[in-house]
Amino acid sequence: MAFLKSRFRLLNFLVRWFVYLLISSFVYLLFCKWLIPPITLTQFSAVVHGYGLNRDYVSWNEISPNAKLAAIASEDQLFPDHEGFDWKAIEKSMQEKPIRKKNKARPKGAAASTISQQTAKNVFLWQGSGITRYIRKAPEFAYTFLIETIWGKKRIMEVYLNVIEMGKGVFGIEAASQKYFHKSAKYLSRQEAAMIISCLPNPKKFTVVPVSRRVQWRTPRILRQMQMIESDPDISELIH
């Protein structure tokens, strides 16, 4: 009997903490609708690993439309239209056979996260691959749905461009712009914006300055995509 009571108390304790966690998490999400997150797990990890924390949060109007366009062109061209998830890409990735050879890369775009998913992951969750990636998927789905519903597209893009890592210890478009081109993100040219975005998804390895081979290869491709999609009315309305 005592054992059952002990199990019940433990279960009750865990349930209460889970409810508290859900409520506090939702309150924090609402808080972030108006204020940039004070720190993320990725930023904290950068400090712990000795990379430092170089960031300078800026508002929507202080970010060049070129940076917004480059992010959409490179990371998520359906961003203005979807509700957080690219279901066709998800379905395609689930249908693909596993790739066993280490030296064979997965086709570009397969299982790629949307900007909304990347924002949810960067702000509320953690990075990582392997089993931690699969553990992260359920809360990532929930957070993505919530920020799409509560924040809206412009706020998602604003937070995304302020919190993502763009170099070792460099977070956000303003810090990256100042570090690599010695100017505010408001004045980034198309070429400069494309170069910065080209360092994703591995900014520690794909350096902007000095220009890594990956950035050098990706930049003209992003520029071409920017030219192709900039006349889209939904994209044009969003980035300005």
- What pLDDT is stored for residue 151 in this prediction? 97
Determine what percent of the chain is predicted with pLDDT higher than 70. 85
Confidence of residue 88 (pLDDT cuts 50, 70, 90): confident
Q: What is the mean pLDDT of the chain?
A: 87
- What pLDDT is stored for residue 63 in this prediction? 98
**Average of pLDDT values for 112-131?**
86
Asked if residue 106 is part of any domain, the answer here is no
- Which residue range is the domain that position 203 belongs to? 32-92+111-239
Asked if residue 98 is part of any domain, the answer here is no
> What sign results for the dihedral spanned by CA atoms 211, 192, 173, 202?
negative
The predicted-structure confidence for 179-198, as pLDDT tens digits, reads as follows 999 999 999 999 999 999 99
Asked if residue 1 is part of any domain, the answer here is no
The predicted-structure confidence for 51-68, as pLDDT tens digits, reads as follows 999 999 999 999 999 999
- What pLDDT is stored for residue 1 in this prediction? 61
- Strands of 49-153, DSSP E: 54-55
Asked if residue 36 is part of any domain, the answer here is yes
Asked if residue 15 is part of any domain, the answer here is no
Asked if residue 133 is part of any domain, the answer here is yes
Tell me the CA distances in angstroms from 180 to 24, 74, 116, 193, one per residue in order: 37, 19, 26, 11
Rounded to whole angstroms, how far apart are CA atoms 157 and 14? 35
Asked if residue 100 is part of any domain, the answer here is no
- What pLDDT is stored for residue 92 in this prediction? 66
**Average of pLDDT values for 141-146?**
95
Q: What is the domain-level CATH number for residue 121?
A: 1.10.3810.10
Rounded to whole angstroms, how far apart are CA atoms 121 and 33? 15
Asked if residue 229 is part of any domain, the answer here is yes
**Average of pLDDT values for 229-236?**
96
- What pLDDT is stored for residue 137 in this prediction? 84
Tell me the CA distances in angstroms from 6 to 2, 9, 17, one per residue in order: 6, 5, 17
Confidence of residue 85 (pLDDT cuts 50, 70, 90): confident
**Average of pLDDT values for 21-38?**
91
**Into how many domains does the chain fold?**
1
The predicted-structure confidence for 146-155, as pLDDT tens digits, reads as follows 999 999 999 9
Tell me the CA distances in angstroms from 3 to 8, 12, 13, 91, one per residue in order: 9, 14, 15, 47
